[in-house]
Structure 1
Amino acid sequence: MTDPTGDPSAPAVCLDVGSSWTKAVLVLPDGTAAGFAEHPTTSDLHEGVDAAVAAAAASAGRGAGPTPQVLACSSAGGPLRLAVVGAERLSTVEAGHRVCRSAGARLVGVHTGPLEGSAVRELAAQQPGAVLLLGGPDGEDPGVLLHNAGRLARTRGRWPVLLAVDPSARDDALNLLRAGGRTVQSCPNPTPRPGEIVPGPVRDAVAALYARQALGARPRRPGEQARSRTPVAVADGARALARLSGTGVLVVDVGSATTDVHGCGPDGADHPAPTVMTVEGDLGVRDGAAGVLVEGQTEGLVDPVEADLLGPAVAALAASGAAVPADRGAAAEDRRLAAVAAVVALRRHLRYTGRIDASDPGGMPGLPGSGAGRPSPAERAAGDREIGLVVLTGGVFRQRDPAGLAAVAATVRHDPALTAALAQVDVEIDSESVLAPAGLLAAHGRERAAGALLAERLLG
């Protein structure tokens, strides 16, 4: 969509406001990248944004001339923090993990049995963005469910409740929750029978909640331009890259808190390239680093010796926030975690699209670029067909170490679970952080500049 207030003859500052870093790229009207700056993301976003914009302009030596148009996207809200409350431990834990998978959520707590005072206090301390309330298999005694619904209704906190229970008990639980003023969304029961988990519909609801909160703080200044979500900007960049390269593209965006994968098929004759997106809320290279280590071991990418070696670094990274590597060793640890995050995210995405064997019988959820709804099987397949290029992007890859970055690309290219699907596919690294800026340019009527930027800095 073209911004009617923008001047296409003016330069643009393309902002990506992440959970740890705010990145700014100054792009000239012809698509030339003229300056880059980054600043730690601040609590109200504005200080970091202003500093990054000013530094990007200063890095290009710009003084007089047209005022740059500011185009911004944000994922500063991070993953959706999801707590799960259920009756039985094993099924509740498994359902919680499957519901979060690829839906932009991170599981922060599991509470089973009747909620009492200490459990309620623990749940509140976990600061969930939403609570998933389960009741067990259909036909079970709803006593524990109704008790928990009543306790949640009386618990302080603005988080909504996803009520995913037996239809015969749903109305009673719904009435209890709403009587306490709680916002509630009903979903099908993901554990309808013992030993069976059907996570898809609840995942869709979780994905929609993630999409609404991913922006972080909203603009508050008069006339300030509304931001889009970073995943949408990256998806727009992936489409522009697919048009430019003439092939399908997989983009892996490794962030501090989440890792996203965008599958974009080549343009057809009469329609734009379809895009399928998955968001992994447990994979990141700062506050998501612990999830990378856990999932890397689960997937067989990280052996016990390496896990022990990386453990102290992961603990430090999870608490470091917006920190840059202090030395070459720390930079290498960053790259290794980013490589593992990229491989795990790609495996999950390709299982969802059916290109590699699915380890999860319930399938993986897909998030279209709009962030709402679940794509059809045909859309899932179309989003990844004819893949000829994989691009790794994210601030972690802005390292001036060609050999180290080449090793990251090799890890992805030669992963045994990915080789069948990605054989003969080029793997490129967006070390100039131009993919999201290109998406912002394309979405604001600057398609030619977007193409020139990608051709010069990513495909050149």
Structure 2
Amino acid sequence: MTTDRLAGATVCLDVGSAWTKAVLVRSDGTIQGFAEHPTTTADVLAGVDAAVGAVTAAARAHGEPTVLASSSAGGGLRLVVIGTDALAATEAGHRVARSAGARVVHVHAGALSAEDVRVVRGHRPGALLLIGGADGDDPAVLLHNAGRLARARVRYPIVLAGNVAARDDALALLRSTGRTVVVCDNVVPKVGTVVAEPARQVVAEMFAGHVVGVQGPSAAPRFRRLVRLATPDAVARGVAELARVTGGRVLLVDVGSATTSVHLADPDGEASRTVEGDLGMRSAATGVLTEGQAEGLVDPVEADLLGPAVERMAAEPGWVPRDAGGAAEDRRIAALAASVAVRRHLAAAPPDAARPPGLVVLSGGVFRQRDHGGLRAVVATLRADAVLAPVLDGARVVVDNDIVLAPAGLLAADGRADVAEALLQDHVLG
């Protein structure tokens, strides 16, 4: 590629929690190159510069291309739940986190001690869900915990969703020391009843702000200038473009290292999205196996066989399988993550969402594998799922081998819908 042709090219970056991927797109929508580099969390720009340098070098390009980036470097939102009853707090926490981009990393029940606060800090939460008691119950524990968190000066945002009778007093305690608090309806208004949606919406908004990641000064201001969209937003825009181009309903499952998102879009602009913070290929791999068993998709024998691989995936975010067996385990986890995520999306969506899509797209780094037989097995797994089969029946299923949905979304958001359309036509629909 000559310098003058590079001037019309764009490097589309996806800064993920484990890998930073760079796609060099020419002005006619063709891909000139691809490169990836482990995301450098200590200094995110080091990985960004390495990926951009690698993709331009591979294309034998000179000069400075335009760079557009999306980011999900923050990964899933780590949620700590603090309540009065262990069973109720656990159930409420998981219901709130589901489909909101969060995963529960710790549940505490009862009055917090100083040591308990240290344990909470050790779990590195991105947010706290503070609940306690049905409406009208004794508020003593909720108020104690609010006071303890206020004195501890925890820096995490707090979702206050407990006993309505104590809400104002708990809020006053927390705000007296400058805590960031969002108030919601009680998640457990009556014993045995969980009303998760108000708190879930708040957590989803927190995830949207968190997922871009990299809050430190080393990333500012250049990283913030490069990042045009959070990756889920870029993918959503790409799916919307795909629905417009095809004139039909599109379902996309994007399986990432830390999260799995499901997008449903219609050509008239109607769209829905859910993000699962406990389903992913690396840091959230344990959740995939756990939820696969809970959904009846994994039997105990397979769980034992996959266990060691899943432990390694969770412990080594940058791990890449080097043999056929490891690649097959990767694909199996991807298939399970996709199945569970789509099941949850359909359960959370309005009844109309069950209307079958004409096109289903599987996306994510795992699908760059060029083992076509293995990828067909992933598709077969989804089609064989008893819950998903009626929705997928008759749909065309394609694999986004070249990971172009986020780049297409970035280009469309940058006012280059024609380039985005050409990219999707050539690399998804072609």
**Aligned with 2:137 (options 133, 136, 140):** 140
Shift of 1:324: 1.2
Aligned partner of 1:287 in structure 2 is 283
Shift of 1:161: 1.1
Answering whether residue 174 of structure 2 is matched by residue 204 of structure 1, we say no
What is the CA deviation profile of residues 62-84 of structure 1, one whole-angstrom value per residue up to 9, with x for unaligned ones?
A: 236xx311010000001111101
What is the CA deviation profile of residues 316-338 of structure 1, one whole-angstrom value per residue up to 9, with x for unaligned ones?
A: 11011112112111111000000
**Aligned with 1:16 (options 14, 17, 25):** 14
Aligned partner of 1:29 in structure 2 is 27
Answering whether residue 43 of structure 2 is matched by residue 47 of structure 1, we say no
Structure 2 CA distance for aligned equivalents of residues 427 and 237 of structure 1: 17
| Paired amino acid for 1:322 | G
Shift of 1:165: 1.7
Aligned partner of 1:369 in structure 2 is none
Assess if the C-alpha contact under 8 Å between 2:146 and 2:173 holds in 1.
yes
Assess if the C-alpha contact under 8 Å between 1:249 and 1:384 holds in 2.
no
Assess if the C-alpha contact under 8 Å between 1:265 and 1:385 holds in 2.
no
The 1:303–1:143 alpha-carbon spacing in structure 2 relative to 1, beyond 3 Å, is: same
| Paired amino acid for 1:212 | G
Aligned length: 421
Aligned partner of 2:394 in structure 1 is 424
**TM score, norm. by length of structure 2:** 0.95
Answering whether residue 127 of structure 2 is matched by residue 130 of structure 1, we say yes
Describe how 1:16-415 pairs up with structure 2 within 5 A: 16-43=14-41, 44-63=43-62, 67-217=64-214, 219-221=219-221, 224-267=225-268, 273-355=269-351, 381=352, 385=355, 387-415=357-385
Assess if the C-alpha contact under 8 Å between 1:105 and 1:280 holds in 2.
yes
Shift of 1:252: 0.5
The 1:54–1:9 alpha-carbon spacing in structure 2 relative to 1, beyond 3 Å, is: closer
Structure 2 CA distance for aligned equivalents of residues 425 and 191 of structure 1: 40
Structure 1 CA distance for aligned equivalents of residues 174 and 245 of structure 2: 51
Q: Unmatched 5+ residue regions in structure 1?
A: 1-6, 268-272, 356-380
Comparing 277-286 and 8-17, the one that deviates more: 8-17
What is the CA deviation profile of residues 87-135 of structure 1, one whole-angstrom value per residue up to 9, with x for unaligned ones?
A: 1111111000000000000101100011123322211111111111112
What is the CA deviation profile of residues 275-297 of structure 1, one whole-angstrom value per residue up to 9, with x for unaligned ones?
A: 21100000001000000000000
3-state DSSP of counterpart to 2:67: strand
Structure 2 CA distance for aligned equivalents of residues 319 and 277 of structure 1: 28
Structure 2 CA distance for aligned equivalents of residues 126 and 220 of structure 1: 26
Shift of 1:384: 6.5
Assess if the C-alpha contact under 8 Å between 1:251 and 1:390 holds in 2.
yes
Q: Identity over the aligned pairs, expressed in percent?
A: 57
The 1:454–1:384 alpha-carbon spacing in structure 2 relative to 1, beyond 3 Å, is: farther
Assess if the C-alpha contact under 8 Å between 2:360 and 2:398 holds in 1.
yes
| Paired amino acid for 1:254 | V
What is the CA deviation profile of residues 330-354 of structure 1, one whole-angstrom value per residue up to 9, with x for unaligned ones?
A: 1110000000000000000011124
Shift of 1:9: 6.4
Structure 1 CA distance for aligned equivalents of residues 126 and 87 of structure 2: 23
Structure 1 CA distance for aligned equivalents of residues 225 and 127 of structure 2: 29
**TM score, norm. by length of structure 1:** 0.89
Aligned partner of 1:458 in structure 2 is 428
Q: Unmatched 5+ residue regions in structure 2?
A: none
Shift of 1:154: 1.4
Shift of 1:156: 4.1
Assess if the C-alpha contact under 8 Å between 1:16 and 1:74 holds in 2.
yes
| Paired amino acid for 2:262 | V
Structure 2 CA distance for aligned equivalents of residues 68 and 121 of structure 1: 47
| Paired amino acid for 2:24 | L
| Paired amino acid for 2:259 | T
Answering whether residue 419 of structure 2 is matched by residue 449 of structure 1, we say yes
Comparing 406-415 and 302-311, the one that deviates more: 406-415
